[in-house]
Amino acid sequence: MDAKRRKFITEAAFAAAGIALGVGPAKAAAAKVASAAKVADSRDICIFSKMLHWLDCGEMAAAAAEIGFDGIDLTVRPGGHVAPERVAADLPKAVAAALKAGLKVPLITTGITDARHPHTEPILKAAHQAGVKYYRTGWLDYQEDVPLPETLEKYSRQLTELARLNQQYNLQGAYQNHAGTHVGAGVWDLWYIIKDLDPRWMGLQYDIKHATQEGGSSWPLDVKLMYPYIKTIDIKDFIWEKKDGQWQIQNVPLGEGMVDFRKFFALVKQYNISGPISLHLEYPLGGAESGARKLSVNPDTVTAAMQKDLKTLRGYLQEAGL
């Protein structure tokens, strides 16, 4: 994206937000923080900023606004748009850039797993001050030489301590279910860990793609069990593909894969699950899918894919009456 195109996108996004360039942007951004917090429980569609690591925060916000997103799920972790060690200085700037573009930042993605880690409290404090309502935690792992029940008890204590800190900063920490061998892949183990915690402070960022990948057709039971804890959602799609004699996951655009979005969003409505939705694009997009800083394809290819998936997602939500 050349300088002229970036300038055009930025000015267009600011104009759409009703903010005149050069006229009190700091005051306008501050005024919107409270507003962003008030509407954080709505089903705003946010772009996961990992897919836009090839743009800086200002360019990313302008591009996301032009594409049509409601907000940004901002990466605040090593290699992200905001580095944990610079969160106090850089998170307010990133949120201000989004607000100037007319976008919200209701959630961030972090690597937080432990209340005692030196980066944890500074991130939560900065997020609270910026009007963020939710954050995604990092993942927890099982150890080969430790019995599973012992591991679950350990992590239950660990997340209980983290939930207390979340309450202090009025944030919900949300653990993402991810296919594989991490804690929470099957969802049931995560329920055991957080079942006695207040959902306001610790919950689940439900990923229907990974739930389908791990649970096949049983994932509706996950939703039935965990819906009080689901305050944020990840959206993406996939198929199984046989390659060189081995079955593998192939990520695909929304609506082209195995995820039953109609059934899923019907349950979202049934259980009155609200909160921001984070859209991920993990199929090949010149490196954007993996958080690359430089693309091997034309940027327009990436933005066109985002527009297409966003349109598909809005269609599913409309069909479900959400």
- Whether 178 shows a pLDDT value over 80: the answer reads yes
- Whether 254 shows a pLDDT value over 80: the answer reads yes
Mean per-residue pLDDT, 90-100: 97
Q: Contact 107/278 with Cβ under 8 angstroms?
A: yes
Mean per-residue pLDDT, 289-315: 97
pLDDT in the model for residue 215: 87
pLDDT in the model for residue 41: 60
Mean per-residue pLDDT, 174-188: 92
Mean per-residue pLDDT, 247-262: 95
Dihedral, CA of residue 122, residue 98, residue 58 and residue 88, to nearest 10:
-10
Q: Each residue of 196-206: pLDDT tens digit?
A: 999 999 999 99
Mean per-residue pLDDT, 68-95: 97
pLDDT in the model for residue 92: 97
- Whether 35 shows a pLDDT value over 50: the answer reads no
pLDDT in the model for residue 251: 96
- Whether 20 shows a pLDDT value over 80: the answer reads no
Residue with more model confidence, 135 or 180: 135
- Whether 30 shows a pLDDT value over 60: the answer reads no
pLDDT in the model for residue 17: 37
Mean per-residue pLDDT, 291-314: 97
Mean per-residue pLDDT, 169-186: 94
- Whether 314 shows a pLDDT value over 80: the answer reads yes
Mean per-residue pLDDT, 15-30: 38
Mean per-residue pLDDT, 70-85: 97
Q: Each residue of 150-172: pLDDT tens digit?
A: 999 999 999 999 999 999 999 99
pLDDT bin (cut points 50, 70, 90) of residue 216 is: confident
pLDDT bin (cut points 50, 70, 90) of residue 21 is: very low
Query: In the predicted model, what is the mean pLDDT of the chain?
Result: 89
Mean per-residue pLDDT, 123-152: 95
